[in-house]
Amino acid sequence: MGNERKELQSVKRIVIKVGTSTIAHSNGLINIYRMEHLARMLSDIKNRGYEVVLVSSGAIGVGAQRMNLKERPRDIKGKQAAAAVGQVVLMNMYQKFFQEYNYQVAQILVTKQVETDKFMKQNARNTFDALLKHHIIPIVNENDTIATDEIIFGDNDTLSAVVATLVKADLLVLLSDIDGLYSDDPKLNPEAVLLSRVEKIDANVQSIAKDSSTKLGTGGMITKIKAAEIATAKGIHVVLANGSRNEALEEILEGKNLGTLFVGRKDA
């Protein structure tokens, strides 16, 4: 793989979103090996001078397991209760792993109003800026315990794009359990090819996402395309890649053709 993504060579502020499948096993238990490596990888990236914000899924699944539930809750109050339990577990684990590399983490729980309330938006931005200035790693999740509609943002894909625009990131990396955006559903069409680069999210790209049967967490390819659309409209580059590969983020920052790059709009 050559060094072909020159747009990524000058990024400094990065938002990384990890899906439930990246940090937890299918039974809801923490994937300790993957989570520990994630902390080591992000700490090393910070050592290299990058600013890092982590958006982490997994609270509801982990909480459901800790509550000895047979399956992930489907009703809102059940999800909220599981999130309240699981968020504590997640943050304890993140703090433990990041402290091994001399980095402190901070928890930020975001509600939908951060998009629409200008005072809340500015306060959130000030908090992020202060944490990053002090080399602290913000770990973000939706405030599921007080959400009254649905778990609104959609498996944190949309949330990660909102956070990326809020902190004026240069790059948003969506780490999930899929290699990227394909020309067609690879499970149904063996001739489908991985799209390495998407210059513009048009009707064709959106139709590929709608036709995909891939289900990731509570979202899917549609939520990832929506996230990419939000971020690229603000000039932020987005990479969708498989988070099961330990070197994925390092290779992305090296400019290698891993996953799908959605190019941020130059006129943003």
Residue 50 lies in a domain: yes
> Of all residues in the chain, what percent carry a pLDDT higher than 70?
90
pTM of this prediction exceeds 0.85: yes
d(CA 148, CA 87) in angstroms, rounded, equals 18
Please work out, in degrees rounded to the nearest 5, the angle formed at the alpha carbon of residue 38 by the alpha carbons of 36 and 43.
Answer: 100
Q: Residue 212: is its pLDDT beyond 70? A: no
| Helices within the chain (DSSP H only) | 20-23, 32-47, 59-66, 76-99, 113-116, 118-133, 157-166, 203-211, 221-232, 248-253
Would strands 260-262 and 237-242 be described as parallel, antiparallel, or unpaired? antiparallel
In the prediction, which pLDDT does 124 show?
A: 94
Burial profile 154-183: b = 16 or more Cβ within 10 angstroms, e = fewer: bbbbbbbbbbbbbbebbbbbbbbebbbbbe
Which amino acids are annotated as binding site, given as ranges?
A: 17, 57, 144, 156, 176-177, 218-224
45: in domain = yes
74 inside domain? yes
CATH of the domain at 135: 3.40.1160.10
Q: Which of 24-33, 145-154, 225-234 is the least confident region?
A: 145-154
* Residue 1: inside a domain: no
Interval 1-24 mean pLDDT = 83
Binding-site residue ranges for ATP: 17, 176-177, 218-224
Domain boundaries, position 242 = 6-262
Binding residues for substrate, as ranges, are 57, 144, 156
The pLDDT value recorded for residue 189 is 83
Tell whether 268 is covered by a domain: no
Is residue 166 classed as helix, strand or coil in its secondary structure? helix
Number of domains in the chain: 1
